[in-house]
């Protein structure tokens, strides 16, 4: 029994102790949570105060910047206002000065008008006195001469009529001479204008072609073992291949320009291909012939299209294209033929001849040169026979045959063809031998002009048909400029030989320069 009591007391005591411990633990935890909340609250308050301070500082800084910007804007506005006031004052002074000048000029104009009015009154008085004196003189003359006014007028009219008849006869004679001179001048103008509008390129005449090589080693491959390659080339093309000490070049020599072009094309293809042997050479030469024939056809068609002569026989067009590879006295014959066609057409249009016929004759006049190395005879006759076989009009055939007087020309178009052919051959720069003389003549023109005192610059222009001289205005006046032009023209006439006429123009220019500020 006592054991149960002791056990019961122990349990009670244990429960009491456990409750006390639990109570103490609960009190301790409550205080810790309160402390944590308090710390967190204080931290949030400090952060809030810090942000508030930063916001106040930022607001102060922005306020300071706004004040500075306002001060700057006000300063700039004041400066701009001062500048505007200054400009307004300056403009006002300028307007005031202009008003004073206008008033002064208005006063001068009024005084000048007054002087003119006074002179007009004086002139009217003098005119009245002169009329009175004239009437008095007429009365006195009638009394002295014993003739009335009508009788004197009749005598004077008879004398004037006789003088007028003499003057009319003299003017008619002068007009006839002027008309004759004007017809010559008009003919020269037609020719020179046609020359000026047409100018083909100059080509150096040559019976050789030079083919550049990529290196010196290729020469040995072209020659081949014991010369078999070069012999195969010469046999296939009919052209001589000259391989000498000329660096990186081979000379192709032959009088047939088509064959020379075939040889040049074939050798160029062999060099690019790299395979050079007799069998390959024959194959490449055959292809080159086809290619050159195609080029000949295209050149002929292009020339016919350029001149506007479509409808010619294909054989005529092909022979025309062969002229692309033919030169004569420094002129490429195809370009020369096109130039002659244009010249003949222009002159035919000026004088009322058949333009189409003249143009066709000009284009075909040298077609015989395409085959004159194969057929004996004049190229004019050869060409005329060729185009006659292919349906070209008889008038064109006659003009082509007669353009070197192989037969007497009896049509206007044939005469025009002869003139156009001569013009194309003789115009400045057409042929090498005349080009040198042409350049020397231009240099001599400028040399003569520059030899006169007061000349600043001189230019030979319009293919030597005009020399333009710029003089120094402080040394040469207008009257002396006219005399200078006449003196230069006389010296050119005495020292130079030239076709047509040369215009001498003296330019005197005075420049005045001021700057608006």
| 471 within 8 A of 507, measured Cβ to Cβ | yes
- DSSP labels, 109-163: HHHHHHHHHHHHHHHHHHHHHHHHHHHHHHHHHHHHH---HHHHHHHHHHHHHHH
Which pLDDT band, with edges at 50, 70 and 90, does 204 fall under? Answer: very low
Rounded mean pLDDT, 415-421: 86
Which CATH number does 435-508 carry? Answer: 3.30.70.1350
Following DSSP, what letter does each residue of 311-363 receive, concatenated? T--HHHHHHHHHGGG-EETTEEHHHHHHHHHHHHHHHHHHHT--HHHHHHHHH
Reference 370, options 432, 338, 325; nearest CA is: 325
Q: Which tokens is 155 given? A: 């005598």
Q: Rounded to 5, what percent of the chain is helix, strand, coil?
A: 75, 5, 20
Over residues 18-36, the mean pLDDT reads 67
pLDDT tens-place string over residues 288-341: 899 988 988 898 898 888 888 888 898 999 888 888 888 776 678 888 888 889
For range 91-116, the mean pLDDT: 88
Residue 434, pLDDT > 80, answer: no
Start-to-end CA span in the chain (Å)? 137
- Summarize the confidence of residues 403-431 as an average pLDDT: 79
Give tens-digit pLDDT for 447-499.
Answer: 999 999 889 889 888 767 788 999 988 888 887 888 888 899 889 988 887 76
- The answer for residues whose C-beta is within 8 angstroms of residue 326's C-beta and 6 or more apart is 257, 332, 333, 334, 369, 370
Q: How far is CA 38 from CA 26, 48, 189, in A?
A: 19, 15, 119
Mean pLDDT of the residues in the chain: 81
Mean pLDDT value of segment 136-156: 74
Least confident residue range of 28-32, 255-259, 350-354, 429-433: 429-433
Residue ranges covered by each domain of the chain = 208-426, 435-508
Helix axes 379-389, 314-322, angle to 10 degrees: 150
Would you give the distance in Å from CA 313 to the centre of its chain? 38
| 207, pLDDT greater than 70 | no
pLDDT at 194 exceeding the cut of 60: no
Q: d(Cα 387, Cα 275) in Å, to the nearest integer?
A: 43
- CATH code of 208-426, in short, is 1.10.3210
């Amino acid at each position: 029994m006592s054991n149960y009591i002791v056990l019961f007391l122990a349990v009670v005591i244990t429960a009491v102790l456990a409750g006390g411990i639990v109570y103490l633990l609960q009190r301790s935890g409550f205080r810790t949570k309160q402390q944590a909340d308090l710390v967190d609250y204080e931290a949030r308050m400090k952060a809030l105060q810090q942000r508030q301070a930063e916001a106040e500082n930022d607001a102060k800084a922005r306020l300071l910047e706004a004040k500075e910007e306002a001060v700057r804007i006000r300063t700039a506005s004041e400066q701009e206002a001062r500048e505007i006031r200054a400009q307004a004052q300056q403009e006002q002074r300028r307007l005031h000065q202009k008003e004073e000048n206008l008033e002064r000029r208005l006063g001068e104009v009024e005084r000048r008008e007054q002087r003119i009015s006074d002179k007009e009154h004086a002139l009217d008085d003098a005119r009245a006195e002169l009329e009175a004196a004239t009437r008095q003189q007429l009365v006195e003359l009638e009394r002295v001469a014993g003739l009335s006014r009508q009788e004197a007028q009749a005598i004077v009219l008879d004398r004037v009529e006789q003088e007028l008849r003499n003057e009319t006869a003299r003017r008619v004679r002068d007009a006839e001479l002027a008309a004759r001179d004007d017809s010559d001048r008009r003919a020269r103008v037609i020719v020179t204008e046609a020359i000026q509008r047409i100018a083909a390129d100059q080509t150096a005449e040559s019976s050789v072609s030079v083919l550049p090589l990529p290196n010196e080693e290729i020469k040995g491959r072209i020659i081949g073992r014991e010369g078999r390659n070069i012999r195969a080339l010469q046999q296939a093309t009919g052209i001589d291949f000259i391989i000498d000490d000329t660096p990186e070049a081979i000379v192709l020599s032959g009088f047939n320009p088509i064959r020379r072009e075939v040889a040049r094309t074939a050798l160029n293809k062999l060099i690019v291909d790299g395979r050079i042997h007799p069998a390959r050479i024959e194959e490449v030469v055959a292809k080159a012939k086809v290619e050159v024939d195609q080029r000949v056809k295209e050149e002929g068609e292009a020339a016919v299209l350029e001149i506007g002569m479509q409808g010619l026989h294909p054989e005529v067009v092909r022979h025309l294209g062969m002229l692309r590879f033919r030169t004569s006295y420094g002129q490429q014959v195809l370009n020369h033929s096109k130039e002659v066609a244009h010249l003949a057409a222009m002159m035919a249009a000026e004088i009322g001849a058949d333009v189409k016929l003249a143009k066709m004759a000009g284009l075909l006049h040298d077609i015989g040169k395409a085959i004159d190395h194969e057929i004996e005879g004049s190229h004019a006759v050869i060409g005329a026979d060729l185009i006659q076989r292919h349906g070209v009009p008889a008038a064109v055939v006659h003009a082509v045959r007669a353009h070197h007087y192989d037969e007497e020309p009896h049509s206007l178009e044939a005469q025009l063809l002869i003139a156009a052919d001569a013009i194309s051959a003789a115009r400045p720069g057409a042929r090498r031998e005349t080009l040198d003389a042409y350049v020397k003549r231009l240099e001599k023109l400028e040399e003569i002009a520059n030899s006169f005192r007061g000349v600043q610059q001189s230019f030979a222009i319009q293919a030597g048909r005009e020399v333009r001289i710029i003089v120094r205005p402080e040394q040469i006046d207008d009257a002396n400029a006219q005399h200078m032009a006449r003196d230069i023209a006389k010296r050119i006439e005495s020292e130079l030989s030239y076709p047509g006429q040369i215009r001498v123009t003296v330019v005197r220019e005075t420049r005045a320069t001021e700057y608006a500020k």
